[in-house]
Chain A
Amino acid sequence: MTGKAALVFVAGFSFIIGYISMNLNNLATQATSNMALYNQTTASHGIATTAANVGLAKFYQDTSWRGSISQTMTGVNKGSFTATMADLGGNKLRLQSVSTYAVPGAGNIHDTVEVYFDSRKRNSFSMYAWMTDFEGNVFWVTGDTVWGRVHSNGNLHVNGKPVFMEKATTSKGFDPKAGTGTNKAIFKKGYETGIAQIVFPTDLNEIITASAVASGGKRYAGEIWVTLDPNTSANNDGTAYVRSTKTGPIIDSIDLNNAGFDGVLLGDQKVHVQGTLDGNLSVASLTDVYVEDDVLYERNPQLVTSDDMLGLVANNNVVVAHNVANNNNVEIQASIFTRTGSFTAENYNTRGLCGTLRVLGSIVQKTRGAVGTFSGSNLTSGLSKRYRFDDRLSDPTVRPPYYPGFYVRTYAITNWWESYRIRLSL
């Protein structure tokens, strides 16, 4: 009897202690498996990221590649992945990589990484300190110094030692070749020839659309005179006054700081401009823009921090008018763009000596225009040049409102997304 009781006693104790041990083991296992699962999900994520990099490497070797690649890993790192490159339309592409990682007792887990590309990138023409589609037969000579990037779709002619402070590029070449003959140019940041042409826009549609009342712009059918007024010394309180004749009554007054105004002022005919800008504005014409007097920023970006930015955009020419105000030095602080014509001075070869033309900004023209004539290195008529790049424009995305731009072929990554797990209730 005593022996049986002892057996029951021992068995009972064993059961209780065994049960407690099992529970403790379960808890310990839970703690371990929790961290193990984290490790496994991290591994799965790592495989997906690896797949994205494999896909990127393949794509950048051959940007025409579309389709999938798969790989199964053996050895210590088990798992597999598939990376798929697909066109999304609208110049967008997506690389999607999906990992598969086997978790014992829980089946397969997957992670996804998606990389988005844009096959082209929009740059503003204002990123160039100087750009021409055609240089004509004008030479860069000793004493010329350009701050900012220079580009021509044609040949750049050099005679002497001009200094290019930033990179200079041409779609054709230098005449003569750099470092030979009379070309002793100094390229502080190098040069490149034979690069793809930067195509000028075939119209000014973007700025025309922006000038519509519905878009928040201003458009005038006739010839107009625009006077920029900074008003007080406070920032962003400028006004643009519009007249239909030079000295006539004001027909429109535009508060440049008005949230409803998109910054575009367009004339179907000639647009004459002068004054001091406080704000952001593009003054455009479907024919020519005439600069009647100095055009300045209230805050000169060379001296102080400034958010003033002006674009002078002409379908044909931007012209420094031949008048009394411009007969003794002219200063223009703006980005200048001529779609089919030139930046030039009116009567540049007959107007007599008019001092210096100072431009702070960017000059982009279809055909290089003249502002004066020279005999040797002596100015015989018109204006001598002092052009300075506005460094704020070196960022290709910074531009006056709706200022013309161009697209470059690129496969820049625009977005990168990685899947993740949410165990919490948010």
Chain B
Amino acid sequence: MAVILDIIFSLVFGGALLVIVLTANDIANENYSLYNGDVVVQEMLVSTAELVEGELRNMGFGVPEKKQTVLEADTGRIKYLTDLDRNGTIDTITYYVGDTTELLQTQNELDRYLRRKVNAGMTAKVGVVTQWRLRYITASGEVLPTPVELDRLTEIHIVELTMEVQNPYAQLRRTGEVEDGQRGALYSSSFWQQTRLASQNLRR
């Protein structure tokens, strides 16, 4: 009898432990996924933001005073002149975002590539963003309608950049947690920043 009771209690105790272990494993995996997502997204955001902020701040460097610096200005695209490597030769830099259909393999339906092109060289993917919006502001504070008309490109003094990066991979939420019109996946790692970049070279 005692042996049978030992076996029964062992099974109950062992089962409880197994449930605890499995639950702990689930929680650990979930947290690992979230934290790892945070790291990935923050690194993406920081590396992209540092590059874009740095380059846009130097927009117009080395360009003669009366020469037009910004060549194209749209919400998702900017093309401008600068002496990128400070060798006395003016370079043409283009930043633009691609279409969301380029990243169908990721769960996040909003992510897209941010691309950078120098002169006629290869286009490089410099980040994956879920939001990339440029606004152009004149010296008097007027926000120029986009795409900025050719004869108003020289009026641009400040470029406002809004950028959001989300985790490309999602945690699906329970049906009850999702309201009408909401996305069905949880992108816990979502970072957003807005910067107004005023290149001193545009203010000469």
Chain A residues near B (Cβ < 8 Å): 17, 20, 23-24, 27-28, 30-31, 34-35, 37-38, 41, 115, 395, 397, 412-424, 426
Contact = CB atoms under 8 A, between A and B. Distances in A.
A27 B53 contact: no
A81 B55 CA distance: 23
B94 interface: no
B36 interface: yes
B19 interface: no
Interface string B18-62: 000000100010011001101100110011111101110110011
8 contacts: A24-B35, A27-B32, A31-B42, A34-B43, A37-B46, A417-B86, A422-B50, A423-B43
Interface stretch (B95-103, B142-150, B196-204): B196-204
Nearest to A421: B50
Chain B interface bracket (under 10, 10 to 19, 20 to 34, 35 or more): 20 to 34
Given A413-B200, A426-B116, A426-B124, A395 B38 contact: no
Q: Is the interface of B mostly helix, strand, loop or mixed?
A: helix
A114 B200 CA distance: 11
Contacts of A414: 65, 204
Contacts of B24: 17, 20
A395 to B, nearest CB: 7
Interface of B: 24, 28, 31-32, 35-36, 38-39, 42-43, 46-51, 53-55, 57-58, 61-62, 65-66, 86, 116, 124, 126-127, 199-201, 204
Contacts of B116: 426
B32 A24 contact: yes
A251 B61 CA distance: 47
B38 A413 contact: no
Given A34-B43, A419-B54, 6 more contacts: A28-B35, A34-B42, A34-B46, A416-B58, A421-B50, A426-B126
B61 A415 contact: yes
Contacts of B51: 420, 422-424
Contact of B199 (A23, A34, A416): A416
Contacts of B43: 34, 423
Nearest to B62: A415
Q: Which of B35, B116, B127 counts the most A-chain CB atoms under 10 A from its CB?
A: B35
B58 A417 contact: yes
Given A20-B28, A31-B35, A420 B124 contact: no
Nearest to B116: A426
B126 A397 contact: no
A421 B65 contact: no
A115 B58 CA distance: 11
Given A24-B28, A416-B199, A423 B35 contact: no
A395 B66 CA distance: 10
Contacts of B39: 27, 30-31, 34
Nearest to A23: B32
Contacts of B57: 418, 420
Given A20-B28, A27-B32, A418 B54 contact: yes
A34 B39 CA distance: 8
Contacts of A37: 46
A27 B200 contact: no
Nearest to B125: A424
B54 A421 contact: yes
